[in-house]
Structure formats: C-alpha cells, structure tokens
Amino acid sequence: MPDKKSRPLRHISPESSAAKAKAWYIVAALLLIGSLVALLLPFTMQAVSQWRQTHAAHDATSQVALWPQGKVADEYDAAQRYNAQLAAKPQNVLGEAPDPFTGSGGKAKSQSETNKTYQRLLDTGGGIMGSVVIPKISVDLPIYHGTSDAVLAQGAGHLYGTSLPVGGASTHAVLTGHRGLPNALLFTRLDEMHKGDVFYIKVLGTTLAYKVDQITVVSPDNAKGDLKIVPGEDRVTLMTCTPYGVNTMRLLVSGERAAIPGQAPPLDDAPKDLTLLWTAMGSLVALGVAATAIVRWLRSSPAAGRHSTRVFRQ
C-alpha cells in the first residue's frame, strides 16, 4: 500500500507565541481596569455630589455674611414670628404630600411652593435657608424650602408646616433627606447616629447645636405625631427612609437644643469622621497598585513565548 502523505510541519516562532500571549494579557488588563472603574464610579459620583452640596451650603453662609446687620435681625425676627404662629395653632399641614418621600406624582404645585411668604423666609438665594452639619457621618448639606423631588435630589429639605430651623422655645424643625441614591450620599448614613451624638444647624450666621435624645422607626402613616411641636422644647428632627434599599419605614433621629460649649463642642472642635477619607485613599492605592502591575506585565515578554519550541501539524 502506498504510504500516506505526511502533513507538513508548521513551526510557531517564539515571537508569534509571545504576541498572542501579550494580546491575552492586554484583554485581561482591560477587563481588570474596567472592573476597577465600575467599582469606583459610584464612589466618585457621590464624592462629586457631596462636594457640590457642601459648596452650596458654604456659599449660603458667605452670602449671609455680606448682608447688613439690620437685614439679618429682620430675617430672624420674621422667622420667629412665623414659628410663633405655628405653635399657636394645630399643625394640620405637614409636608408636600401624606409623606414627604411619596412625591406629588406630577400633580399641581404643593402648598409650600405656592406659599410665597414661606418661600421668602430665610432665603439666602436659590431657596437655601441654611445648612445641616453632622460631623460624625460627614454630612454638610444645604437646607432648601420644602421637600419636592427636585429639592431632595440636591440636599436636605425643610418639611413644610414645621418650625423654621432658627431655634427657640416651642419649635420643632424637621429636615428630610434621601438615602441610598447611587449618585449622592445625603442621609444614607443617618442610621449610624446614636443617642448623645451632636449635629449642627447653620442659619443666619449662627450655629446651633442639637444633641440626639430620640431615635425611632415609624411607618409613614404614623410619622406625623412625632413631628409636631412640643410646648417649651427646642427640637430638630432628621428624617429619612429605612430599611436601606427597601424604604417602607421612616427613621427619625431627633435632638434637643444643646448649649455651646457647655453641652456640645463648637462645630470646629467636633470629632470628625474619616471614613470617606480612608475609603478614598484606599481606592487610590488599589488603583495605583493595579495600574503599576499592569504596566510591568505589559512591558515584559511572557516567558512561555520566549522559550516556545512547539510544532503543530496542519
């Protein structure tokens, strides 16, 4: 029988093998970089959003500093008169809807939006009346009039029908904020607050301190009873959704006025939260290590490619 023709042998050069190996390394590197970007993107978006919110709050404070002293006194007196009127009658209207996080569903404007007197009170420009600062959880947010969807997307909202946040006996201001937004932290970490923690309100060039003494979780239908004025008290309540990602209940973190410095430290001396700083530094270090490893990987020729002597039949 005739011999079968043998197939010619094709030699794979070390250079070709190395090129293929390096191509796979490039694909792996791109996948790794993509994963790191996807991991860091939400954090970056939240950091940028937080910077904008803090900047807006500080701009409002700077604006008040430029007002004549007489205007500051007039604004404070007007806010006190508004609060006295609220305390003198039942608080039948609280918020934009049955619940501040429900939203208006695109319907007619809420009472807070149509109440021009309310909108003018404490307005430092752009609807900002002050800021809420919570050092323990790195919060520094502008406080806007009302709790519309647009307001809650960019800061804390003042619940219409509650006292304006200027302090004083028989006042109870309620500030609301979203939790768990992908592009903003806002009140996401409010559940980390405990009794005895302090938060601050900056309004009309003055800083007020409030020490947490009540933390409750209630249903939206039963929240309003906890948000009304108690005669003689000077109180501020921070309100958000809970549990995280489910949002069927409302978390209320409430504090009573605390004297500075006797009962609460000055804002500049309050303990600072370093969680975001360490997270940012850790992320940058991880990204730097990964980038360095990838660059070294791509610059070196794969050992398998340099020493390949394999042959294959066609």
Provide the annotated active-site residues: 178, 241
The runs of H, that is alpha helices, within the chain are 14-65, 69-87, 111-114, 116-120, 149-152, 275-299, 303-306
Cis-peptide into 243, omega within 30 deg: yes
Beta bridge partners of 176: 157, 239
Q: Give the alpha-carbon dihedral of 99, 105, 108, 112, to 10 degrees.
A: 30
Question: Is there a cis peptide before residue 261, judged by omega within 30 degrees of 0?
Answer: yes
DSSP bridge partners of 241 = 250
Both tokens of residue 258?
């605390």
Q: Angle at the Cα of 51 (from 48 to 52), degrees rounded to 5?
A: 90
Sign of the alpha-carbon torsion through 132, 165, 225, 212:
positive
Q: How far is it, in rounded angstroms, from Cα 105 to Cα 199?
A: 32
